[in-house]
Amino acid sequence: MKFCSNCGHTVSFKDIESDTHPRFFCEECKTIHYQNPNMVVGCLPIWEDKIMLCRRAIEPRKGFWNLPGGYLENGETVEEGAAREVREEAGICVEVRSLHTVFSIPKINQVYLHFLAAMPDLNYAAGVESLEVEMFTETDIPWKEIAFSSSTFSLEKYFSDRKNGRRQVHLGTYTHPI
């Protein structure tokens, strides 16, 4: 960041008194510019014993499978954003049921929220960000072709919970080099 979005003057990156992190600061209008993690929201759409996955039509990881998800938009609740992402990527409206996983990736400033969601039927179709959409049982999931660790984490936790007859919210963190 070079210029203040409030007044247009040059900003500096410095320690702010009584703050825990250095911030971009405008000496002219005294605005502190906070930069916070991006929220990524998505769903595990469920139909009977199957989970919906979308094959990505965009980079990064084009051609790999993923849970439908994307960036939360301003003015949306996390549930609305997760349902919207399923509509955009798979052309179907789902009923968001409960939070399933919170997955942090501190090195790239992202937090993923995956929800369990019920599908009303199997009338889905690939959206512009998906090459194809398919339903998978646990044994059919293309584990080596999953695009992101957040989806792998959510899928593994879902199948573990189902096997053990429980439902809980899982916390995970990606700590490997990016």
**DSSP 3-state of 108:** helix
pLDDT tens column, 101-144: 999 999 999 999 999 999 999 999 999 999 999 999 999 999 99
Which residue do the tokens 């609305």 mark? Answer: 80
pLDDT of residue 150: 97
Residue 161 has pLDDT above 80, yes or no: yes
pLDDT tens column, 41-51: 999 999 999 99
* CA neighbor of 117 nearest in space, from 42, 30, 64: 42
Contact 100, 115 (CB under 8 A): yes
pLDDT of residue 177: 75
pLDDT of residue 178: 67
Name the segment(s) of the chain with CATH classification 3.90.79.10: 38-173
CB atoms < 10 A from the CB of 92, how many? 22
Element (H, E) at 112: strand 110-118
Rounded to 5°, angle at Cα 178 from 73 and 71: 5
Name the segment(s) of the chain with CATH classification 2.20.70.10: 1-35
pLDDT of residue 168: 96
Terminal alpha carbon distance of the chain: 23
Residue 169 has pLDDT above 70, yes or no: yes
- The CATH class for the domain spanning 38-173 reads alpha beta
Element (H, E) at 84: helix 78-90
Tokens of 151: 């989806």
Q: What are phi and psi of 69, to 5 degrees?
A: -175, 170
- How many CA atoms are closer than 13 Å to the CA of 22, on its beta-carbon side? 5
Contact 31, 62 (CB under 8 A): no
* CA neighbor of 50 nearest in space, from 139, 137, 146: 137
Calculate the average pLDDT of the chain. 96
- The CATH class for the domain spanning 1-35 reads mainly beta
Global pTM reads 0.90
Residue 176 has pLDDT above 90, yes or no: no
- What is d(CA 160, CA 75) in angstroms, rounded to the nearest whole number? 34
pLDDT tens column, 68-113: 999 999 999 999 999 999 999 999 999 999 999 999 999 999 999 9
